[in-house]
Amino acid sequence: MPSLGETVAFLSNLRGQGAATAARGAPRHCRVTDDFGPNPGALRMLVHTPDIHPRRAPLVVVLHGCGQTAEAHAESAGWLALADRLGFVVLAPEQQTGNNFNRCFNWFEPGDTTRGHGEVASIAAMIGHAVRTHDLDAERVFVVGLSAGGAMAAALLATYPELFAGGAVIGGLPFASAQNLQGALSVMRSGVDDRAAERLVAAVRDAATGAPRPVRLSIWHGSADTVVNVANGAASAEQWRAAGSLGAASATRPSKGRSRRSWSDGVSTVELNLIQGMGHGTPLATKGPHGLGAAAPFMLEVGVSSTREIAAFWGLGADASAASEQPEHGLEPRPSEPVEPPAPLEVKPGGVGAQVLEALTPHVPKTVQDQIAKAFKAAGLS
């Protein structure tokens, strides 16, 4: 378990997450729905509908990362533009500062990741409302998230498997890998303890009642991620592979500075995409005739469009994967490497700002906050 000093050093790597994200105002491309049903997680519901979309269109749930707003994240990642092109609806739940000062989804709180409770229950209610209101196809609902949103996407897939035809986790973490803030910081920093593997598989299998639905899950991670240890990508893949009893054999396809490994039984499929040299964020290919999304903090131009590839993986439009890789704008190709679960990266601390204390505020008493603030000041970090 990390000490306070180690926690502060690690949190310094989160400094500025969302700092360049536009302040929340009236949405430009999404509509806010105030009354969508039970909202025990106290989340905000935003929906983007294309001007023209077919009856029984698919629904994609897009979950933002810490410090981001729902619309800005969905727009920068390219999901709104792709929805307009392919005719699906986007649901973008948004965290509130009253739940988490840094607007992170509380993926590490059992009260928010248990079926029928908290944030997962709110998002499930949003999905039901969106499907009914917009006459969408309940059999084609998908969820994707970045970082804390990716971890919450995994929680939704585990707790409400009957709602989803597929999912994607970008720079996220395994479901039930932490049960409190300190545990969350530990697994983000160092990855999941190998001894927890069986417990994590059981967590997925026990999270919901009824017959499990076949899983179609795409996992993405950067090999140089210093915010969420890259080992979490492999741990997530193993959690869902084992939960689905997919077997150890896999297909490997290394190319152009990235590699993909997949497990499938012909019905369920789990894939792990590693982008060599990429840090923490969503892989994008924004340039050229097929460019999608916009580079921003934690929206990374690497010449690979995870948004297009995920949509194609789910079967959303034959053109979704067209020109998804643009090496002239991306990472320099590197020699292919075996795609084994990567070793944890060493996390090097940097400077720390007021946002660190803000991130802790909802989770520690005032007296502890004061002690931390004094420690920052004494160290010249305030």
Tens digits of residue pLDDT in 234-276: 999 999 999 999 987 676 777 779 999 999 999 999 999 999 9
Does the pLDDT at position 114 exceed 70? yes
Q: Which of 273, 325, 291, 281 is nearest to 82 (CA)?
A: 291
* Contact in structure between 185 and 171 (CB atoms under 8 Å): no
Lowest mean pLDDT among 34-43, 134-143, 261-270, 334-343: 334-343
* Contact in structure between 363 and 111 (CB atoms under 8 Å): no
Higher pLDDT, 187 or 336: 187
Does the pLDDT at position 357 exceed 90? no
Higher pLDDT, 382 or 137: 137
Residue 29, Ramachandran bin (φ over 0: left; ψ between -120 and 50: alpha; else beta): alpha
| β-bridge pairing 44-48 and 31-33 | antiparallel
CATH superfamily of 18-348: Alpha/Beta hydrolase fold, catalytic domain (3.40.50.1820)
What pLDDT was estimated at residue 258? 94
Q: Of residues 12, 76, 147, 306, which has the active-site annotation? A: 147
The full DSSP string for 232-247 is: HHHHHHHHHHHHTT--
What pLDDT was estimated at residue 7? 54
| β-bridge pairing 258-264 and 251-255 | antiparallel
pLDDT tens digits, 188-205: 999 999 889 999 999 999
147 catalytic residue (yes or no) = yes
The full DSSP string for 95-144 is: --TTT-TT----TT-GGGSSTTSHHHHHHHHHHHHHHHHHT--TT-EEEE
Sequence-distant contacts of 197-204: CB under 8 A, at least 24 apart: 197/235, 197/238, 197/239, 197/242, 200/174, 200/175, 200/176, 200/235, 200/239, 201/239, 201/242, 201/243, 203/158, 203/175, 203/176, 204/158, 204/175, 204/176, 204/239, 204/240, 204/243
pTM of the model: 0.81
pLDDT class of 349 with cuts at 50, 70, 90: very low
Amino acid letter, 241: R
- For the chain, give every domain's residue range: 18-348
Query: How large a percentage of the chain has pLDDT more than 70?
Result: 75
* Contact in structure between 180 and 219 (CB atoms under 8 Å): no
What pLDDT was estimated at residue 38? 98
What pLDDT was estimated at residue 160? 97
Does the pLDDT at position 350 exceed 60? no
Average pLDDT over the chain reads 83
pLDDT tens digits, 320-332: 544 344 443 333 3
Whole-angstrom distance, CA of residue 55 vs CA of residue 364: 48
pLDDT tens digits, 286-301: 999 889 999 999 999 9
What pLDDT was estimated at residue 293? 98
- Mean pLDDT along residues 228-239: 98
Distances from the Cα of 205 to the Cα of 114, 208, 366, 379, angstroms: 13, 7, 38, 46
Does the pLDDT at position 366 exceed 70? no
What pLDDT was estimated at residue 321? 47
- Mean pLDDT along residues 148-175: 98
- Alpha-helical (H) ranges within 244-338 are 306-314
What pLDDT was estimated at residue 15? 41
Higher pLDDT, 354 or 283: 283
* Contact in structure between 303 and 327 (CB atoms under 8 Å): yes
pLDDT class of 316 with cuts at 50, 70, 90: very high
